[in-house]
Amino acid sequence: MSENSRLHTVIQSKNKTALFNFKELIRYKDLLYYMVLRDVTVMYKQTVLGFLWAILNPFFQVVVFSVIFGTVAGISTGIHGLPYPVFSCLAIIPWNYFSTTFTASSNSLIITSGIFTKVYFPRVIIPLTPVFSKLVDFTISLIMLMAILWYYKYTPGSNVWLFFIPLSIIIITAAGLGMWLSSLVLQFRDFRFAITFLLPLLLYVAPVAYPAIKVQEQLGNTVYNIYALYPMVGGIEGFRSSFLQDVAFPWKLVGISGISSLIIFISGSIYFRKMEKHFADVA
Amino acid sequence: MLHNEFDIAVKVSNLGKAYRIGVAEKKEKNLITILLNAIIAPIKNFRKIKSLNRLHTDTEGKDVFWANRNISFTVKQGEVLGIIGKNGAGKSTLLKMLSRITEPTEGEIELFGRVASLLEVGTGFNPELTGKENIFLNGTILGLTKKEIEERYNSIVEFSGIEKFIETPVKRYSSGMKVRLAFAVAAHLEPEILIIDEVLAVGDIEFQKKCLGKMQEVAGKEGRTVLFVSHDMAAVKKLCNRAILLQQGNIVYEGSATDTVDYYLQNAASIASQKTIDISNAKGNKKFVITNIEMLNEEGNKVQLAESGKDLHLKMYYEVKEKGPDPVVIVKIKNNLEQILFTCLSRNSYNGIMQLNDKGVITCVIPKLPLATGLYSVDITLKYWFDITFDVENIFSFEVERGDFFGTGKINSDVMNGMIIYHNWIIN
């Protein structure tokens, strides 16, 4: 035990506004790794189909969406000749990542209150764990996406790598909302109920079943720009277009959504930092 | 200056922690006000929940309770500090702040070195994961890095003694195996500052002993700083260099472990040697009740600490509201796990039928108190024949300090929360 390596910690009651304590987060990076690993290992334990669920789940959603919205309601994909299953699959997969992460992250603090009331570690790791662990499901479901693209003879073009930009927007939004809501849910359990009824509404508002361009056509340009403030608009539209060769990447939508996702993330982490000192007292 | 800085392991200055406690609300009786209240309830609820963490700005309300206040002390590196005090004196809150679980309302703590506490044993164990996976998960929760756990992995497994089951999900483990594995991880944290809370570690005597053993090892051989919270005064005297005494959230005495313990034993005796009973909370028809209880030692002085091996007098002040046939007194002594150790039943042990006045005193004398060190509580039931007139659980609690039970001149050793039974040895 060398004297120089001794950790110096000061515990105070001062209200400080800060984003993250990066030094501390780096020290606890292995904890994040094992929390994510735990989530992934435990998720499909004692199931017969295991990780196949990550494919089956979106597959049935695509089937239902295609029959109901594509055939029965006859919603146009807005892109000439694009089959509805391809169109909806490209939105359902990122949407599923967002909604599962959002739900898991929001409830994460309540579920783990038995841990953080006994041990200190950077609490922000708790809501951030699903943000990473749900990426495993997301990656597996990309297999189904590839299969559907192959079946309909769609080959992604050279700008397919652009999908990292909308994906990052979705990840950042889920993380930001997770930090906001996990701390809100812990103190005000009302938010638990709010989330369950808000999620379907968020799905209807997002351009999953219909293209975003419809909003512009029906409600005008101003509404369209405001609409893009909802990060899932740029996230899903961007994700969809990056896989389709003959569709231009919607830079403007992605830009607006990107900015608002950053605002959600930064405000979420500030709020979380502000509230985390009380977690053990209100839990 | 430089030397001084390296010397100190823990520095606490003016530390305080306030909690908000519920204040009784007015109960409305008429329908209109009840309906009105239901409508404004959300606003009230919001204020109430919101106020749980509004302690930085408003600390003087009548619903604010200071669990700790004006706590200042320093602990040098390698020192073993005992923290003693009665239940509710603020020991656990202090430890929670030191281990960073909850933030202080005022004041500051400086820690030099990594802190770990043995009260966190097994935190975050996931039943679905294997023993091996849990070692890594639990280890990182407690602040180790992956590399550090890998280095200690073999030693942890060996210490736990469950090599055969290390790839088995923890949900298939017996509770003993779980504790062994959890303790093995905690024992390998190698922190610079170790916090041990005996009060919270109840449940497993074996485990408590292991904690104590580990603590002796840590403090003695490795020269680590230890903060030790205990009700076991002999252990504090034996293991600690220094001790602080907490009372109602404040430090009331600080000194050598022996001095502090002696001060505690002498002064605690005058604090709550008697208790007035709130009869309204009692079960039974209340025709024959207890209004007041006192604990007296052999010499007839009121005490709060009973000594093992000395006579104990439980003086119960009774009141008879309505006469009845064959009064019976039942006194149950329980340990801190709520297990009944023995029952004093007057139906069997009192010769004849009790003749009671309107008011008077019944004294239950327990000769040579056969209890080991620890905290005990008393249940009292009064009956007329089989008719319960008065029944209160945990009506009174008392601490027992160790004494010379066998009259051998030796103070009995650290058997915790148990009974001491007379026995002899025959050596041929």
Q: What is the pLDDT of residues B168-186, one digit of tens each?
A: 999 999 877 887 888 888 8
Q: What residues of chain A lie within 8 A of the CB of B106, using their CB? A: 13
Tell the CATH topology of B67-268. Rossmann fold (3.40.50)
What pLDDT score was predicted for residue B54? Answer: 63
> Cβ of A3 and B146 within 8 Å?
no
What pLDDT score was predicted for residue B151? Answer: 94
End-to-end CA distance of chain A: 36
- The domain segmentation of chain B, as residue ranges, is 16-65, 67-268, 274-401
Q: What residues of chain A lie within 8 A of the CB of B140, using their CB? A: 28, 30-31, 33-34
Beta-carbon count within 10 A of B366 CB: 17
Nearest CA distance, B3 vs chain A (angstrom): 11
Which residue of chain A has the CA closest to B141?
Answer: A31
- Based on its alpha-carbon atoms, the radius of gyration of chain A, rounded to whole angstroms, reads 21
Q: What residues pair up with B314 in beta bridges, in sequence order? A: B295, B364
Nearest CA distance, A120 vs chain B (angstrom): 5
Q: What residues of chain A lie within 8 A of the CB of B141, using their CB? A: 31, 115, 119, 121
Return all residues near B267 (Cβ < 8 A) that are at least 6 apart.
none
Nearest-CB residue to B49 (from A1, A10, A188): A188
Return all residues near A180 (Cβ < 8 A) that are at least 6 apart.
A264, A267, A268, A271, A272
Instruction: Assess whether pLDDT exceeds 90 at residue B418.
Output: no
B48/A contact by beta carbon, under 8 A: no
> Cβ of B137 and A275 within 8 Å?
no
Exposed e or buried b for every residue in B131-162, given b needs 16+ CB within 10 A? bbbbbbbbbbbbbbeeebbeebbeebbebbeb
Q: What is the mean pLDDT of chain A?
A: 90
Q: What residues of chain B lie within 8 A of the CB of A12, using their CB? A: 103-104, 107-109
* Contact between residue B230 and residue B82 where contact means Cβ atoms under 8 Å apart: yes
Task: Give CA–CA dist B6/A3, Å, rounded.
Answer: 7
pTM, two decimals, is: 0.75
> Cβ of B52 and A114 within 8 Å?
no
What pLDDT score was predicted for residue B274? Answer: 63
Token pair listed for A137: 């499901």
What pLDDT score was predicted for residue B78? Answer: 84
pLDDT in tens, B86-104: 777 888 889 889 988 888 8
Q: What residues pair up with B316 in beta bridges, in sequence order? A: B293, B362
**pLDDT confidence tier of residue B120, bands split at 50, 70 and 90:** low
Nearest-CB residue to B104 (from A11, A46, A116): A11
Instruction: Assess whether pLDDT exceeds 80 at residue A40.
Output: yes
* Contact between residue B117 and residue B189 where contact means Cβ atoms under 8 Å apart: no
Query: Which among B101, B117, B100, B127 has a CA at the least distance from the CA of B185?
Result: B117
Q: What residues of chain B lie within 8 A of the CB of A122, using their CB? A: none
Which residue of chain B has the CA closest to A12?
Answer: B108
What pLDDT score was predicted for residue B216? Answer: 65
Nearest-CB residue to B6 (from A3, A15, A33): A3
Return all residues near A26 (Cβ < 8 A) that are at least 6 apart.
none
A6: in domain: no
* Mean pLDDT of the A81-91 span: 93
> Cβ of B109 and A187 within 8 Å?
no
* Mean pLDDT of the A248-258 span: 94
Best-predicted range by mean pLDDT among A16-30, A96-110, B219-233, B327-341?
A: A96-110
Q: What's the length of chain A?
A: 283
3-state secondary structure at position A147: helix
Question: What's the helix, strand, coil split of chain B in %, to 5?
Answer: 30, 35, 35
* Contact between residue B79 and residue B56 where contact means Cβ atoms under 8 Å apart: no
Higher pLDDT among residues B142 and B88, named by residue = B142
* Mean pLDDT of the B125-154 span: 91
> Cβ of A27 and B145 within 8 Å?
yes
Task: Give CA–CA dist A25/A112, Å, rounded.
Answer: 18
Instruction: Assess whether pLDDT exceeds 80 at residue B199.
Output: no
Which residue of chain B has the CA closest to A117?
Answer: B101
Question: Could you tell me how many CB contacts below 8 A there are between chain A and chain B?
Answer: 121
DSSP conformation letters of B239-296: H-SEEEEEETTEEEEEEEHHHHHHHHHHHHTTTSSEEE--GGG-BS--SEEEEEEEEE
DSSP conformation letters of B318-383: EEESS--SSEEEEEEEE-TTS-EEEEEEHHHHSSS-----SEEEEEEEESS--B-SEEEEEEEEEE
What pLDDT score was predicted for residue A22? Answer: 81
DSSP conformation letters of B51-62: HTT-TTT---ST
Does the predicted interface ipTM exceed a cut of 0.95?
no
> Cβ of B56 and A15 within 8 Å?
yes
Percent of chain B with pLDDT over 90: 23
* Contact between residue B117 and residue B195 where contact means Cβ atoms under 8 Å apart: yes
Which residue of chain A has the CA closest to B3?
Answer: A3
Arch. (CATH architecture) of B274-401 = Distorted Sandwich (2.70)
Task: Give CA–CA dist B89/B248, Å, rounded.
Answer: 5
* Mean pLDDT of the B350-373 span: 90
Q: What residues of chain B lie within 8 A of the CB of A123, using their CB? A: none
Task: Give CA–CA dist A152/A130, Å, rounded.
Answer: 33
Nearest-CB residue to B126 (from A42, A118, A278): A42
Looking up tokens 């923890």 gives B170
Nearest CA distance, A187 vs chain B (angstrom): 7
Evaluated on CA atoms B303, B305, B311, B315, the torsion sign reads positive
pLDDT in tens, B395-410: 887 888 777 788 777 7
Q: What residues of chain B lie within 8 A of the CB of A11, using their CB? A: 97, 100, 103-104, 108-111
Domain tally, chain A: 1
What pLDDT score was predicted for residue A65? Answer: 94
HEC-encoded secondary structure of A14-59? CCCCCCCCHHHHHHCHHHHHHHHHHHHHHHCCCCCCHHHHHHHHHH
Q: What is the mean pLDDT of chain B?
A: 81
**Residues on chain A bordering chain B, Cβ-to-Cβ distance under 8 angstroms:** 1, 3, 6-13, 15, 27-28, 30-31, 33-35, 37-38, 41-42, 45-46, 112, 114-121, 187-188, 275, 277-278, 280-282
Nearest CA distance, A229 vs chain B (angstrom): 30
What pLDDT score was predicted for residue B184? Answer: 83
Token pair listed for A241: 């277009």
Return all residues near B373 (Cβ < 8 A) that are at least 6 apart.
B231, B232, B233, B234, B308, B400, B401, B402, B414, B415, B416
Return all residues near B104 (Cβ < 8 A) that are at least 6 apart.
A11, A12, A13, B15, B16, B17, B68, B97
Task: Give CA–CA dist A48/A129, Å, rounded.
Answer: 25
Query: Which has the minimum average pLDDT: A63-72, B64-73, B239-248, B293-302?
Result: B293-302
What pLDDT score was predicted for residue B215? Answer: 61
Q: What residues of chain B lie within 8 A of the CB of A185, using their CB? A: none
Q: What's the length of chain B?
A: 428
| C-alpha to C-alpha distances, A87 to A29, A114, A190, nearest whole angstrom | 38, 43, 36
Instruction: Assess whether pLDDT exceeds 70 at residue B198.
Output: no
Return all residues near B84 (Cβ < 8 A) that are at least 6 apart.
B91, B229, B230, B231, B233, B236, B243, B244, B245, B246, B260, B261, B264
Evaluated on CA atoms B240, B244, B247, B248, the torsion sign reads negative
Give all strands (DSSP E) within B118-276, no chain letters: 193-197, 225-229, 242-247, 250-256, 274-276
Token pair listed for A73: 């309601």
Domain extent, residue A238, equals 58-282
B126/A contact by beta carbon, under 8 A: yes
What pLDDT score was predicted for residue B210? Answer: 63
pLDDT in tens, A171-214: 999 999 999 999 999 988 889 999 999 999 999 999 999 999 99
Best-predicted range by mean pLDDT among A90-94, B29-33, B126-130?
A: A90-94
* Contact between residue B269 and residue B304 where contact means Cβ atoms under 8 Å apart: yes
Q: What residues of chain B lie within 8 A of the CB of A31, using their CB? A: 140-141
Instruction: Assess whether pLDDT exceeds 80 at residue B363.
Output: yes
What pLDDT score was predicted for residue A137? Answer: 93
Task: Give CA–CA dist A141/B150, Å, rounded.
Answer: 33
Higher pLDDT among residues B78 and B53, named by residue = B78
Return all residues near B389 (Cβ < 8 A) that are at least 6 apart.
B284, B285, B286, B287, B288, B289, B324, B382, B383
A43: in domain: no
| C-alpha to C-alpha distances, A202 to A95, A182, A194, A205, A207, nearest whole angstrom | 10, 18, 12, 5, 10
Task: Give CA–CA dist B23/B246, Å, rounded.
Answer: 26
pLDDT in tens, B253-282: 999 988 888 787 666 544 455 667 777 778
Best probe of the B interface among A184, A191, A281, by most B CBs < 10 A, is A281
Beta-carbon count within 10 A of B403 CB: 20
Taking the CA of residue B26 as centre, how many other CA atoms within 13 Å lie in the half-sphere pointing to its CB?
Answer: 7
